[in-house]
Structure 1
C-alpha cells in the first residue's frame, strides 16, 4: 500500500479520483486501488516559539535574554492542525503502508510541508516525489508514471529548512530587541523590513521634493510641431522673440525599430499586470491562480520562469490552437492569420522547477461562467499572453528631425507602423476587455503621428511659437505592480529584463504577496487605491532599525544563497552560521534601551487626530489635551480638551486642525455663568473661541 500526501484536501481528492483511490473514505483520507490519499492543510508542523525552549524567553521580554539561538530547533504541532497530523501519523504507521508519495506543491515550501510532517511523525519509510506542473488528469497520470526518488529533492528541502530557521533567528531576536528597546511592539523580519524600507525611502523622496518650473518652446510648423530642450523661466521670453518665421532642417534620421513580443508570464509578471490592469493585489492574483490550478485550468502558479522547455513544443502549439478557440478574443488572433512562433517560447536554461504559466487542455471543455470574475480575468490574461507571445514582431519606422530656429535647436518626431504584429493584436483585444482600470501612471515617450517629408537644409515655415510651462514631478508612489518589480530586483535598476545574470530579489514569487499583506496587516503600510503608502508607524520603524536590517541588497544576497543551496551549490549549515553571527552582532550593537525623550514610539498607543499647524508633526489625543508630539520641545503646540466649559471631541479637534475652525458649537460658559454659541478657531498657533454674533 502506498500513502500519498497532498498539500490540501481539494488536491488530494483530485489525485484520488485519477488513481482510483476514492473507493473508501475514511476520516481525513480516501483509499483504493493500492493507494491511500491524505492531505495536509498547509503547514501542520511549525518551529516552536522561544518560550517553548525556556519560559524566561516569554513575555515580558528582556534584553538580557538575547540572543536566543537554539542549539537544536524544536518543532510543534499547533492545536488547530493536531487532528490531521495525528491522522497522517497513524497512516504512516499502518503496517500495510510500505511506501509514501510526497504530492505536496512542487516547490520549496511544498517540500517542507511534507518533510516536517514526515520527520515529526518519526517516519522512516521510503518515499517518492510527485512533481507536476498541472492538475489535469493527464498530468497527474503521467506524474505517477514518472515518480522521482525523494532524495532528488534533499537540497530543495535543505534550502526551505534553512530559510525557515534563518527567518526564526533574525525575526524572533530582532522583534524582541527593538520591541524592548523602544517599548512598543515592533515586528522586524528578514524580508519584510527591507521591503518596507524601499517604500519609506520613496515616500521621503516625495515629501522632500521641491518642484522646479521650466519652459520649452514649441514651433507650429503646420503639419507638425517641434519642441526645444528645457529653458530657464527668465530666458524663455527672449528665446521666443528670437524665433523667426522660418526654421532650417539640420538633420533627419530614420530608424527602424523592432519590438519583440512579450514573454510568457511567470507569477510576478502576472501579478504586476493584474494590478496594473485590474487593480488586483498580489495576494488576490495568487489566490486566483491557485484556484485555477486546482480547477485544472492553469499550470502551477508559483513559477519564476517565463519560458518552456523544448519537449513542450508540440504541447504549446496545441495550447495556442485551443486558446484561440476557447476564448472570444481568440477570434482577433485568428483574424490576423498568424503563424505562431513556438520556438520563441523555448529556453531550457531558464526553466528550473516549473515552466511559464499556461492554460491547460481543460479550457476546451470548461464552463467559464462558473468562474468568479477575478479568476476569469486572471485566466484571460494568461491566455492573452500566450497568443501575444507567439505573434509576429512589431515593426515601426521612427523619424527624428532636428530644426534650428532663433539660434536654438528644436526636435520633431514621427512614427509609422510597418507591421502591427503583437501590438496590433494586443490593442484589439484590450479594446474589448471589460473591467480594466485606468492606469494613471502610464506614460509613453514614443512619438506619435507621421512627419511630412523633410530634407536636410530645407526651410520650414513657422506659423507660431508657443511657450510651454512645465514642472518637475516627484517620484511616483509605489503600486503593487511597481513594488513587485522592485522586490524582484531588490530595489536595483542595474540590470534589465533581458540580462542573463542571476537576479537577486527580496523573497520569491511564492512569498512576495504574503510579505506585502503582512506589512498592511501590521499597519506599517496602507493601501490608497492602487498605491502602497507607509504609515507613520512604518516610517518610524525604518528610522530606528540599523542599515544592515533594512538593506535590500543584503537580503537579496541571502535569498541568492538559499537558491544556491537548493541547487546544491552552497552549504546550508554555513548559511545558518552566518545568520547566527549576523544576529549576535545586531544584538551587541543595539542592546540598550532608549530614554523616553528619545523614543519615537512613545506616542504609538495614542490616537492621532491630525497634523500640527506649526511644525507638521502628529497631534495626539492625551487625557486632558490635544498635543503635538513636540509639545514639550521647540514646537510647543497644544490645546486643552475643555474650553470655557465645553468639551472638545476628537472629531471637532480633527476639523480644527484640518480646516482652521470647528462648526458652530453650543454650550460655552461665560464668566457670569451664561452660555453662548461659538466656533473654535485656530489663530496664530492657538485655539480660541470666536463668539457667535
Structure 2
C-alpha cells in the first residue's frame, strides 16, 4: 500500500520527492514505491460567489442585502482573467488529486500544506470536499530540508487533531467573505456613482486605512512652536574642547528667548567647574531574530523600491527553496527544542567568516524561549547553503543569516560618560550637560559593520576648572510626527497600536503586545492589506511615506460603521481567531457574532443619508494592437499582467507575462516596444541584460512554441563579437 502526500505548491512537492529520492514524475504528481506526492496551486477551491447561490443576485440591489448563506459552499477557483469561468489548470489538478485519493492502493492521505490557518484550509477543503473515508494525517514542518522531511514523516499527526486550526481558518475565511461581500456591495450602492469597480470594505482593510488617516490628520493639524537652546563650548586645562547644553529644572528647551539671552550675557569672562562626572560601562544586545513584520520593516526602510509584499514573496521563495524556515511568523525567538538544529546551522554558516573565532554557540533565554513563541519560531536559515541566488533573494537571505549569526557574537560594549559643568557665577541657576560614548567592543556590530556615531569627550576630572570659549543660542521649531512608512505601519498593525510609540522593536512591551494575540491581520496578510489599500486607491506612496488619497479620506469620514475603523474592535476579532485555534472560543459563537454584526452594519448604512464619495466614469480606452498572435493571428494587446492575445476568451493562451521569470533573472521586464519588435520580426535585440555574475550584455531573443506542449519559451542568441 502507498500513502498520498498533498502539498500546497509544486515546488514543495519537488522538495519532498527529492528527500524521498522519488524520480518518477507523472502528469501532476511524483510516484514512488511507498509515497505518491502531488500538489495544489494554493487554493484550488474557493467560496461560492453570491450569484452562485442565487442568480437573482447577479445585479446588486440594496434590498438583497444582508445576504448570509445557510450553508457555505466551495467551487473550483475562478480563472484570474475571467472570473465567470473555472480555472482550467486548477480543475485539472483537482481531478488528478481526487483520482489519486480514490486509488485502491492508496490507504492514507497526508496533508503537507503550510503549517498555518491558511495551509490547513487549503488541504482540508480539497481532501474533505471528496468525502473520503481514508485515514488523513498531517505533516507539520517549519522547513523543507531533506532531514526535516524524513523526520517529519516519522512523526505524523492524525489530521483530526488539527480541527481547532481548521476552525480558526474557516472562521477567518467565512467572516471576511460575509463582511466583505455585504458591506462592499451596500457601500458601493450607497456612496458610489457609476459602475465597473467596487468600494472595497474589509475587516482588516479599514482599520489599516484609519491608522494612516489619523497620522495624516495629526500632521495636518499640527501647530509648530518655536523654542530655543543654548550651547556653550568649554576648554580644559589641557586645551581640549567639549560642548554642553544649558539645562534648567531638567529642561533644555526654552520658550522664552530672553531667559537664555540673560544667561549668554552672564557667561562673559567667566570660568566653570566640572561638578560631576559619571562613567558607565554599558552592554548592547544584538537585535532579536526576525519575525516577518520586523524583516519587512528592516528591508523596506533600508532598500529603495521594496514593499512588504515583495519582502514576503522573496522570503516565501527562499522558504520553498529550503534555504530559510517558515517566514509567516510573529515570533522573534526559537523553541527550546531547536537548540541542536540551531547549533548545526551556525556551524555551517560561520565557516570562513573573518570573525569566525568570535562566534560561539550558546543556549540563551534571549534566543530560545518557549513562552515567547507564538505558533512558529523566528525566521532563521537552514543548514542548506545556497549556491546561487538572485539579487533580491541575496538581500533577504543575508539579512536573515546576519541576524542569526549576531545572536552568537559577543555583546557590543561601550563606555558612556556624562559631565555636568557649572558656571562660576551665582546669577546662573542652571547647569551645562555633556554626553559622550566610546565603543570598546564592536561585538555583533561587526556582522553588518554597524557604525556608532559617537561623541567622544576628552579626559577631565571632577572639580577641574575650565574656560568658556564660546556659546551659541539656536532657534528651533517643534516638528510634526512623520508620515507612516510600511515599517511603522506594520508595527502598529502587529501590536494593534500598543507598540506604536515604541521605537525599540526589541522591547519587552512590544513582545508582550505581539504575544497577546491582539493585532490587525496576521504576519501572512498584512503585506497583502497594504498592497490592496494602494490597488483600490485608498492610499498612495510618496517616497517611502504612506498617505491617504482623497477617496480614502472621504471613506473614513463618511462610512458609518465606525467599529470597522476601531483598532480595539479589530484586535479583539483577531484575538478571538487566535483563541479558536487554542480551543478557548468556539467557531459557532464567533460566526454568530459576525452574522449579527454584519446584519446591523447593513441596516446602519441603509439608514444613512445618501452621499456620493466616488464617481466612476467609464472611459472607452482605445486598445493598441501590438502585432499578430503567432498562434491564432488575432491582435496582441497589453493587459495589467502581461501582453496577451485578444482572442483569450475563446481559449487562445499566448501571453508574455510582465513578471516573466526568465527575463527577471537577467534584471529585465518585457516592454511594449520589445513585444512589437518580437511579433514583427520573430526576434528582438535586448540590451543591458545582467548575467548571474552581475555583468551586462546584449543578446537576440526569440519566443518560440515548445515542441511537447502549447506553451512558449525564450531562446537566446549571443551577438558575435
TM-score (norm 1): 0.79
State whether residues 415 and 451 of structure 1, in contact with CA within 8 Å, keep that contact through their aligned partners in structure 2: no
| Counterpart secondary structure, 2:466 | strand
Q: 1:599 to 1:247 in 2, by over 3 A?
A: farther
1:606 positional shift: 9.6
Out of 129, 147, 152, which is 2:138 matched to? Answer: 129
Paired position in structure 2 for 1:376: 394
Alignment of 1:230-379 (within 5 A): 230-232=253-255, 234-235=257-258, 236-244=260-268, 245-279=270-304, 280-325=306-351, 330-331=353-354, 333-334=355-356, 337-343=358-364, 344-363=366-385, 366-367=386-387, 370-379=388-397
User: What displacement does 1:181 show?
Assistant: 1.5
Per the alignment, residue 119 of structure 1 pairs with: 128
Distance 1:325 1:237 in 2: 61
Q: Work out whether 1:450 is the aligned partner of 2:460.
A: no
Kept in 2, the 8 Å contact 1:213–1:470? The answer is yes
Residues 182 and 594 in structure 1, CA contact (< 8 A), matched pair in contact too: no
Say whether residues 1:526 and 2:540 are aligned partners: yes
Which secondary structure state, in structure 2, belongs to the residue aligned with residue 402 of structure 1? strand
Contact 2:350-2:359 at 8 Å conserved across structures: no
* SS of residue matched to 2:351: helix
How many residue pairs were aligned?
577
Q: Tell me by how many angstroms 1:270 deviates.
A: 1.4
Does 2:213 match 1:200? yes
Return 528-537 or 171-180, whichever deviates more: 528-537
Q: Tell me the SS of whatever aligns to 1:221.
A: strand
Find the counterpart in structure 2 of residue 646 from structure 1: none
1:20 and 1:33 in contact (8 A); partners too? no
Report the CA distance between 1:400 and its aligned residue. 2.3
Secondary structure class of the residue paired with 2:419: strand
Contact map agreement 2:491 2:499 (CA 8 A) in 1: no
Matches within 5 A, 1:160-175: 160-175=169-184
Query: The residue matched to 1:591 in structure 2 has which SS?
Result: helix
Give the superposed CA RMSD.
Answer: 2.3
Corresponding residue of 1:438: none
Partner of 1:75: 74
Deviations 1:439-477 (A, max 9, x none): xxxxx9x8622253242x554321111011212111111
Q: What is the CA distance between 1:378 and its match in structure 2?
A: 0.6
**Matched ranges for 1:556-595 at <5 A:** 556-592=571-607, 594-595=609-610
SS at match of 2:508: coil
Q: Is the counterpart of residue 466 in structure 1 residue 472 in structure 2?
A: yes
1:250 Cα deviation after fit: 4.7
3-state SS of 2:312 partner? helix
Q: For residues 77-123 of structure 1, what are the alpha-carbon distances to aligned partners after superposition, in whole Å with 9 as ceiling and x for unaligned?
A: 12112222222222222222221000111111111101111122222
- Hey, what does 1:645 align to over in structure 2? none
Q: Tell me how far apart the structure 1 counterparts of residues 102 and 171 of structure 2 sit (CA, whole Å).
A: 28
**Does 2:186 match 1:177?**
yes
| Gap regions ≥5 residues in structure 2 | 78-85, 236-240, 247-251, 620-721
Shift of 1:198: 0.4
For 1:321 and 1:451, the matched residues in 2 are separated by 42
Q: What is aligned with 2:18?
A: 17
Q: Secondary structure at the match of 2:590?
A: helix
How far apart in 2 are the matches of 1:56 and 1:458?
Answer: 90
Check whether the contact 2:142–2:326 (CA below 8 A) recurs between aligned residues: yes
Contact 1:227-1:412 within 8 A present in 2 as well: yes
1:354 counterpart SS class: coil
User: Which secondary structure does the structure 2 equivalent of 1:523 belong to?
Assistant: coil
- C-alpha distance 606-412 of structure 1, shift in aligned 2 (>3 A): farther
Residue 510 in 1 paired to residue 524 in 2? yes
Cα deviation for residue 581 of structure 1 reads 1.8
Contact 2:329 2:376 in 1 (8 A): yes
Contact 2:192 / 2:616 at 8 angstroms: preserved in 1?
A: no
1:465 and 1:352 mapped to 2: Cα distance?
54
Q: 1:408 maps to which residue?
A: 430
How far apart are residue 346 of structure 1 and its match? Answer: 1.0
Deviation of 1:209 after TM superposition, in Å, equals 2.0
1:251 to partner: Cα distance: 3.8
Summarize the Cα distance change of 1:323–1:116 in structure 2 as closer, same or farther, 3 Å threshold: same
Q: Is the 8 A contact 2:333 2:372 kept in 1?
A: yes
Picking from 223, 226, 235, the partner of 1:210 is 223
Aligned ranges for residues 22-171 of structure 1 at < 5 Å?
22-23=23-24, 25-59=25-59, 61-78=60-77, 79-80=86-87, 81-171=90-180
SS in structure 1 at match of 2:591: helix
Could you tell me which of 533, 547, 565 is aligned with 1:550? 565
Relative to structure 1, the CA distance from residue 170 to residue 453 in structure 2 (aligned partners, 3 Å threshold; closer, same or farther) is: same
| CA offset digits 1:626-683 (Å, max 9, x no partner) | xxxxxxxxxxxxxxxxxxxxxxxxxxxxxxxxxxxxxxxxxxxxxxxxxxxxxxxxxx
Q: Deviations over 1:255-284 (max 9, x none)?
A: 443322222112221111111222321111
- SS of 1:166's partner is helix
Normalised TM-score (structure 2)? 0.76
Question: Which position in structure 2 is the counterpart of 1:619?
Answer: none
What is aligned with 2:687?
Answer: none
Q: 1:190 aligns with which of 176, 196, 203?
A: 203
User: Post-superposition shift, 1:352?
Assistant: 4.4
CA deviations on 1:497-548 (whole Å, 9 max, x unpaired) are 3144633211111111111111111121222222222211112221222321
